[in-house]
């Protein structure tokens, strides 16, 4: 599946790829990694997958989990 990275920084990746459903459809994948308040080594990871059509959007999956560790990312 082709993947085009639209934008990124240390805590967020946003991509879009062709999805099944015709020329005017796409698959949007949003990934975030956010620091948990007050804890320097605990992060909340969230991934959302959305089918994007000409006149609508359908959320396919949203998944979150907490991660512990130093990932070289420092929250602001």
What pLDDT digit, counting tens, does each position of 30-64 carry?
Answer: 999 888 888 888 999 999 999 888 888 999 999 99
What's the number of domains the chain is made of?
1
73 within a domain of the structure (yes/no): no
Domain assignment present for residue 75? The answer is: no
Residue 76: per-residue pLDDT:
55
State the Cα–Cα distance between residues 16 and 42, nearest whole angstrom: 28
In a domain, 58, yes or no: yes
**Residue 20's closest CA among 55, 63, 49, 52?**
52
Kindly state whether residue 24 falls inside one of the protein's structural domains.
Answer: yes
Which pLDDT score, from 0 to 100, does residue 4 have? 45
**Does 14 have pLDDT greater than 80?**
no
The domain in which residue 64 lies consists of: 4-68
Spatial CA neighbour of 72 closest among 45, 41, 47:
41
The structure tokens listed for 10 are: 């240390």
Per-residue model confidence (pLDDT) at position 39: 83
Residue 70 vs residue 2, higher pLDDT: 70
Question: What is the spatial distance between Cα 54 and Cα 13, in angstroms, rounded to a whole number?
Answer: 23
d(CA 74, CA 14): 19
pTM of the model: 0.61
In this prediction, residue 2 carries a pLDDT of 42
């Amino acid at each position: 599946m082709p993947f085009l990275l639209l934008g990124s920084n240390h805590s967020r990746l946003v991509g879009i790829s062709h999805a099944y459903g015709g020329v005017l459809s796409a698959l949007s994948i949003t990934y975030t990694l956010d620091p948990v308040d007050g804890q320097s080594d605990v992060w909340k990871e969230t991934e959302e997958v959305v089918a994007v059509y000409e006149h609508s959007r359908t959320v396919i999956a949203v998944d979150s989990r907490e991660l512990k560790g130093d990932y070289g990312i420092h929250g602001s």
